[in-house]
Amino acid sequence: MQTILLAAGQGTRMRPLTEHRAKPMLPVADKPLAAHTAETAVEAGASKLIVVVGYESEAVREYFGDEYTGVPVEFAEQTEQRGTADAVRAAEPHLEPGPFAVLNGDALYDEASLTRLYESSPAVGSYRVEDPTQYGVLYTEKSTNDTRVTGVIEKPADPPSNLINTGAYVFPAEAQAWLDVGESERGELELTDVLERACNEHAVTAVPFQQWLDVGRPWELLEANEWKIGELSRKHQGDVHEDATIRGDVVVEAGATVDAGVVIEGPALIKSGATVGPNAYIRGTTLIAEDAKVGHSVEVKNSVLMEGATVGHLSYVGDSILGRDVNFGASTMVANLRHDNEAVKTPVKGEITSTGRRKFGVVCGDDVKTGIQTTLNAGVKLDAGARTKPNEVVLKDPQFEN
């Protein structure tokens, strides 16, 4: 099945993590986000990948190259992000005659469900959520052996059900000629208009996904790492000191160093070039990326430290994401829990948004540096290149109430 992988968007809801990197290239366990999607597609039966690129495209092109996991890769450029139908239209010249799949490069799908989708052409992936108002909701009807899709409505105030569109499609061959759609009410060229036409002219199957995650906001990047790091098995190839204690499924890659007195409670992934300790404590689902450093008496819990990030000594980082080359000064403390036990809120595209998580720390863009004894409150975001002074207390984003 020829498969279009959408990876051109700017990822504005993921800022500041995407100020200098395409969202599909954000780290999830042992590879970029879009690489998990691509590998799952290949395992499900993708015969060719057509990757639609745009924002920060060079890193995407360099990573995937001309072939990925034994499958040929071609690239299509979406010069202006005008919507999903526009992205697929950019890929259309690379399609061969026949049906084709479309997947979001910033979403995770389970292999078994994606395989069923590929086998059920034409089809759309479906998933049940508690709050469907932020998604495309599917209209369906029961047939003899499965569920048929009869239409879709985008972000309805009064949803007809809680069954949503996962953004995973298999379209019939003639849909290649249906991509010239008009603008939606949101001013975009929507792939759901192509889905509507497919529903009018074909029996489109709603394939239920066992696992699916739309990785659009920072806390969902934590959730993606919880999923994928949780699938790793214990492996110690790096330099682990005999006085270190490692419990559970912890991967220490070749070239990583775990010093004396360190305690790591998995699942966790320590990437090549990373150093941990001495006397550090890693717990929860944590990613310590390439060349990151966790120093003396530092505790890191359920967090992502991207390439080159440093938490030098005597600090606490919980339920947080630190971008590339972040440097936390000594005794930097991250709060990750509200005293009223309500879900932590954080700004997303100019609006204070609930993370839905009782525990959530901070999000730091690339090259953030904190002065010694800085305190960062739950839900704080620091833009790329931001600086704090010694003993500074950052209670909220300067523009918003927390």
Local confidence band at 148 (pLDDT 50, 70, 90 cut-offs): confident
| 181: phi then psi, degrees, rounded to nearest 5 | -95, 160
Instruction: Decide: 371 and 329 in contact? Cβ < 8 Å.
Output: yes
Instruction: State pTM to two decimals.
Output: 0.93
Range with lowest mean pLDDT among 108-117, 144-153, 224-233, 266-275: 144-153
Query: Does residue 400 lie within any of the structural domains?
Result: no
Q: What percent of the chain has pLDDT over 70?
A: 97
Verify that 315 and 380 share a domain, yes or no: yes
pLDDT (0 to 100) of residue 183:
63
What are the distances in angstroms from CA 313 to CA 73, 276, 285, 301, 332? 44, 11, 20, 15, 9
Q: At what angle do helices 57-64 and 33-44 cross, to 10 degrees?
A: 40
pLDDT (0 to 100) of residue 85:
86
Verify that 177 and 119 share a domain, yes or no: yes
Query: Does residue 226 lie within any of the structural domains?
Result: no
Average pLDDT over every residue of 338-367: 93
Query: Does residue 101 lie within any of the structural domains?
Result: yes
Average pLDDT over every residue of 14-40: 95
pLDDT (0 to 100) of residue 171:
95
Range with lowest mean pLDDT among 78-92, 206-220, 348-362, 364-378: 78-92
pLDDT (0 to 100) of residue 117:
96
Q: Is the pLDDT of residue 221 over 80?
A: yes
pLDDT (0 to 100) of residue 192:
83
Sequence-ordered list of residues with C-beta below 8 angstroms from that of 131, at least 6 positions apart, any chain: none
Verify that 46 and 81 share a domain, yes or no: yes
Q: Is the pLDDT of residue 397 over 70?
A: no
Verify that 212 and 237 share a domain, yes or no: no
Verify that 266 and 316 share a domain, yes or no: yes
Query: Does residue 91 lie within any of the structural domains?
Result: yes
In terms of Cβ atoms closer than 10 Å to its own Cβ (0-12, 13-18, 19+), residue 157 is: exposed
Verify that 261 and 185 share a domain, yes or no: no
**Of the listed 36, 296, 313, 339, which one is catalytic?**
313
pLDDT (0 to 100) of residue 178:
84
pLDDT (0 to 100) of residue 400:
52
CATH number at residue 280: 2.160.10.10
pLDDT (0 to 100) of residue 158:
87
318/150 Cα distance (integer angstroms): 44
Q: Is the pLDDT of residue 402 over 60?
A: no
CATH number at residue 37: 3.90.550.10
What are the distances in angstroms from CA 98 to CA 124, 174, 176, 240, 257? 17, 8, 9, 52, 50
Query: Does residue 167 lie within any of the structural domains?
Result: yes
Q: Is the pLDDT of residue 177 over 90?
A: no
Range with lowest mean pLDDT among 152-161, 221-230, 334-343: 152-161
Verify that 161 and 284 share a domain, yes or no: no
pLDDT tens by residue, 78-118: 987 777 888 999 999 999 999 999 999 999 999 999 999 99
- Identify which of 127, 106, 113 has the alpha carbon closest to the alpha carbon of residue 44: 113
Q: Is the pLDDT of residue 398 over 60?
A: no
Average pLDDT over every residue of 372-388: 96
Quick one: three-class SS letters along the chain?
CEEEEEECCCCHHHCCCCCCCCHHHCEECCEEHHHHHHHHHHHHCCCEEEEEECCCHHHHHHHHCCEECCEEEEEEECCCCCCHHHHHHHHHHHCCCCCEEEEECCEEECHHHHHHHHHCCCEEEEEECCCHHHCEEEEEEECCCCEEEEEEEECCCCCCCCEEEEEEEEECHHHHHCCCCCECCCCCECHHHHHHHHHHHCCEEEEECCCEEECCCHHHHHHHHHHHHCCCCCEECCEECCCCEEECCEEECCCCEECCCCEEECCEEECCCCEECCCCEEECCEEECCCCEEEECCEEECCEECCCCEEEECCEEECCEECCCCEECCCCEECCECCCCCCCEEEECCEEEECCCCECCCEECCCCEECCCCEECCCCEECCCCECCCCCEECCCCCCCC
Mean pLDDT value across the chain: 92
Six-digit token string for 382: 């620091």
Range with lowest mean pLDDT among 18-27, 149-158, 300-309: 149-158
Verify that 326 and 377 share a domain, yes or no: yes
Task: Provide the number of structural domains found in the chain.
Answer: 2
Q: Is the pLDDT of residue 372 over 90?
A: yes
331/327 Cα distance (integer angstroms): 12
Query: Does residue 269 lie within any of the structural domains?
Result: yes
Verify that 202 and 263 share a domain, yes or no: no
What are the distances in angstroms from CA 31 to CA 104, 229, 261, 296, 323? 16, 10, 29, 27, 15
pLDDT (0 to 100) of residue 82:
76
Verify that 187 and 238 share a domain, yes or no: no
Q: At what angle do helices 84-91 and 191-201 cross, to 10 degrees?
A: 80
What are the distances in angstroms from CA 391 to CA 279, 364, 374, 378? 24, 18, 5, 17
- Identify which of 1, 8, 60 has the alpha carbon closest to the alpha carbon of residue 35: 60
189/57 Cα distance (integer angstroms): 21
20 tagged catalytic? no
Q: Is the pLDDT of residue 204 over 80?
A: yes
Verify that 109 and 212 share a domain, yes or no: yes
Out of 216, 251, 271, a domain closes at 216
Query: Does residue 323 lie within any of the structural domains?
Result: yes
pLDDT tens by residue, 234-260: 999 999 999 999 999 999 999 999 999
Query: Does residue 127 lie within any of the structural domains?
Result: yes
Verify that 199 and 245 share a domain, yes or no: no
Please give the residue range of the domain that contains residue 297. Answer: 233-394
299/281 Cα distance (integer angstroms): 5
